Amino acid sequence: MATNNLAEKSDEDLMELYKLGNTIAFDILFQRNSGPVLGYLKRRISKDKQAQDILQDIFLKLHRSKHQYDRTVVAGLWILGAFVGALAAIEGSYLVRRQWA
């Protein structure tokens, strides 16, 4: 399947293709969704490197759980769920470090 054809597909179609092993589908999902996520992270976290690391963690989590994706869930919401989970874990560890500092 040509990259141009994939670029026209919905996030849900891309997730289904990625579950089947199409890595270009994941690349397109990353291109579509990483900018807004990184923008939000940069507003919340003052260190650009840390924001980049969190972004990578979020998409690594998506990669590891791709087999759990359910087509009935909007892919953007599924990605948002991974984002919120990663951010909560990071902020929680920050609060714990700060409490014990």
* pLDDT (tens digit per residue) in 39-57: 988 888 778 888 898 888 8
- Decide if 82 contacts 63 (C-beta within 8 A): no
Query: Can you read off the two tokens belonging to residue 63?
Result: 């990669």
| Backbone dihedral region for residue 67 (phi beyond 0: left; psi -120 to 50: alpha; all else: beta) | alpha
Q: Is pLDDT at 28 greater than 90 in this prediction?
A: yes
Give the pLDDT confidence score for residue 99 in this predicted structure. 46
pLDDT, averaged across the chain: 82
Is 95 a residue whose pLDDT tops 60?
Answer: no
Confidence of residue 96 (pLDDT cuts 50, 70, 90): very low
Q: Does the pLDDT of residue 94 top 90, yes or no?
A: no
Architecture of domain 3-100: Orthogonal Bundle (1.10)
What average pLDDT does range 63-74 have in this prediction?
A: 85
Contact 54, 41 (CB under 8 A): yes
- Asked whether the beta carbons of 45 and 24 are under 8 A apart, the reply is no
Which range has the worst mean pLDDT, 11-15, 24-28, 32-36, 73-77?
Answer: 73-77
Exposed/middle/buried for 49, CB within 10 Å: 0-12, 13-18, 19+? exposed
60 has a pLDDT exceeding 80:
yes
